[in-house]
Amino acid sequence: METSQSSEPCTSPSPPVPGDTVCDLVTVPARQGLEAVDILRRAAADAVGPVLHDDDRDTLGFLVPAGTAAGWDVPGSTCTETNGRGLRLAPEPPVAGADWLLPPGDDGDLATDPAVLREALGEAARLIEAADKCC
In whole angstroms, how far apart are CA 56 and each of 33, 82, 135?
Answer: 15, 22, 28
d(C-alpha 116, C-alpha 114), whole Å: 5
Residue 29 in contact with residue 55, Cβ under 8 Å? no
According to the model, what pLDDT value does residue 103 have?
Answer: 86
**Rounded distance between C-alpha atoms, residue 33 and residue 116, angstroms:** 13
Q: What is the pTM of this model?
A: 0.78
Q: Residue 45, SS3? A: helix
Query: What pLDDT does residue 88 have?
Result: 54
pLDDT of 45 reads 65
* pLDDT for position 104: 83
Question: In the prediction, which pLDDT does 2 show?
Answer: 28
| Residue 65 burial (C-beta neighbours within 10 Å; 0-12, 13-18, 19+) | middle
Phi, psi of 10 (to 5 degrees): -60, 130
pLDDT at 33: 97
Helix (H) or strand (E) holding 122: helix 114-134
pLDDT score for 98: 84
Q: How does pLDDT run along the chain (135 residues), one tens digit per residue?
A: 222 222 222 333 344 455 556 788 999 999 999 999 999 999 876 778 999 999 889 999 999 998 899 999 999 999 998 765 555 566 666 667 788 899 887 665 578 999 999 999 999 999 999 999 886
Q: How many CB atoms lie within 10 A of CB 45?
A: 8
